[in-house]
Structure 1
Amino acid sequence: MSGALVAALVLDAIFGEPRVLWDRFPHPAVIMGRIVGWLDRHLNRSRGQRMAGILTVLILVTGAALLGRALAALPGLTADVIVAAMLLAQRSLSDHVARVANGLRLSVPAGRAEVAMIVSRDTTEMEPPAIARSAIESAAENLSDGVIAPAFWFLLFGLPGLLIYKIVNTADSMIGYLTPRHAEFGWAAARLDDLLNLAPARLTALLIKLTAPRPVSWQDIAADARLHRSPNAGWPEAAMARALDISLAGPRSYNGVTRPFPYVHPHGRRDIGANEIEAAVARLWAAWALALAGIVAISLVAAAF
């Protein structure tokens, strides 16, 4: 598994998500979203929503496991490498975040337009520091969700583990929010996603810490992570905030309503912009390189025995 994962990580880093392919065919993540949406429309009724949500997660996990086993049974490692590369997001994440820095250097409206592509909060009145914080938070959180967590579960359980993680993560992003429609129906998806991200989020924080350009205390990261509203996203965000000595999170607006979230690393710099976004992109690649080196080492040890 480790050799296939190394190949998949490198392929994703080189090619990302080529438009020539995904302009013609639906991306696997899009297909997953359509499946989750279909189950939401047909199973999310007015009664028994929590049980229906549990059933939805069972269907998704079982289907992902069976598909993963079927693909893994194909001769050679081609299916493993190709599917894993398609479901990793290092190159696309780095490119999207870098575009926010480029847009912000052109103008504030251009920066707002670029960051609106990667965050769900209100962006129409964002000033440069808020744009930068949003981009960097997305970078840190998605390094965990889009790269380290998929790699972690692939390394442990192969394609079934990877596909289970991705379908649960997709379900959480679609039905896991505490909206009136999904408060009960999305409960199982949200809780399972929290569980599956428990170790990868902390591993991501450790990778950022170990590759930080300045000394970073694990105790400080842990203390900052507890300030975050998410039990997992706070870890990579806290590590990134400490690595760059900036404040992240804090108040933001959703659908016109300002949410008074606390700052992560509240004593860090808050007047930030394109330079800090680019520094965060550098941290993404440094953490990716360390993760790749670790997986190569595991592969060599496994080959030796």
Structure 2
Amino acid sequence: MILPVALLLDAIFGEPDWLWSRLPHPAVLMGRAVGLCDRHLNRGEARRARGILALALLIALALAVAALLAALPLGPLPEMLAAAILLAQRSLVDHVGAVARALRHSPAEARRAVALIVSRDTSSMDGPAITRSAIESASENLSDGVIAPAFWFALAGLPGLLVYKIVNTADSMIGYRTPRHEAFGWAAARCDDLLNLAPARLTALLIAATSGQLHRLGEIRRDAARHKSPNAGWPEAAMARALGIALAGPRSYDGRMQPFPFVNPEGNRSPGAADIDAAIGLMWRAWAAFLILATVVAVV
């Protein structure tokens, strides 16, 4: 019952400021480890091979930490707390909800709020673009930050969770097709794609099942194929269908507009704060369905 309890602890307590203002969050420590590899290994020749070495070192670090925690004479408590800390349902809901609240006040305030959860340019976004960005982030991070780490914990225990989290952190930092990281971050990006293959589709299934959209799985699959990411398109497509809105579409990165296609292009292209609220409701329903599934598996 470790995973169900961890899911509940995360949902109830989230990431308390009183704790993480005093101690570095484990995700921050993982980021520091990735940054250290980037600074010391991402240089010279054979950048792809160096990136593979960096990923191997990071995975070894994750496995060593898992072994250390398992060796503590505290029973399942270290694993339970580690899992609760590294799940992000409550934190994600809080951040996405902040965008909806800000949007009801002013676009400028909403741009500042959404800039905290997306990497695209936000300075010229209007209300619908802000809304789409928030819902896309909610959908993708429901998979990356909640379902995927819980999935790998269920499958491989704490080692599986820590390996997933450090690979995902590496992908978010170095898995970009930029001159500096295209070769060095190749291994992290491909490994992250592989580890998210099943969880992304499971997330889409959970969203579809809890929103009465299972009969539209074929359309969700079609829409997912339109997305630039092999995995993020699945939860985004399921969310778009559930809400009846269009997601993705053109957006700006580093001052350059990218002509990405819409997911569910026939959906409403002018969503607002109420749609963010509805997306949060769907996130909780998908989370609850996963909690029930995890509890049944644990009991059986």
Match of 1:39 in 2: 37
Match of 1:258 in 2: 257
- Note the C-alpha offset of 1:217: 0.7
- Note the C-alpha offset of 1:73: 3.0
- Note the C-alpha offset of 1:167: 0.2
Residues 49 and 184 in structure 2, CA contact (< 8 A), matched pair in contact too: yes
Whole-angstrom CA distance in 2 between matches of 1:186 and 1:196: 15
**What aligned pairs does 1:1-305 form with structure 2 within 5 A after superposition?**
3-75=1-73, 76-212=75-211, 216-301=215-300
Q: CA RMSD in A?
A: 0.9
- Note the C-alpha offset of 1:62: 1.2
Whole-angstrom CA distance in 1 between matches of 2:58 and 2:122: 33
Task: Structure 2 unaligned segments of length 5 or more: list them.
Answer: none
Q: Deviations over 1:15-47 (max 9, x none)?
A: 000000000011000000001001100000131
Residues 252 and 260 in structure 1, CA contact (< 8 A), matched pair in contact too: yes
- Note the C-alpha offset of 1:69: 2.1
The share of aligned pairs that are identical, in percent, is: 63
One-letter amino acid of the counterpart of residue 291, structure 1: F
Q: Deviations over 1:27-83 (max 9, x none)?
A: 000000001001100000131100000000000111111211221233311001100
SS at match of 1:47: coil
SS at match of 2:196: helix
Q: Deviations over 1:125-162 (max 9, x none)?
A: 10000000000000000000000000000001111000
Identify the range of structure 1 (145-154 vs 73-82) with the bigger mean alpha-carbon deviation: 73-82
Whole-angstrom CA distance in 1 between matches of 2:38 and 2:276: 36
One-letter amino acid of the counterpart of residue 145, structure 2: G
One-letter amino acid of the counterpart of residue 133, structure 2: S
Q: Deviations over 1:239-269 (max 9, x none)?
A: 0000101000000001110000000000001
Whole-angstrom CA distance in 1 between matches of 2:282 and 2:151: 19
One-letter amino acid of the counterpart of residue 36, structure 1: V
- Note the C-alpha offset of 1:232: 0.3
TM-score scaled by length of structure 2: 0.98
Whole-angstrom CA distance in 1 between matches of 2:194 and 2:64: 21
Q: Number of aligned residue pairs: give it.
A: 299
TM-score scaled by length of structure 1: 0.97
SS at match of 1:232: coil
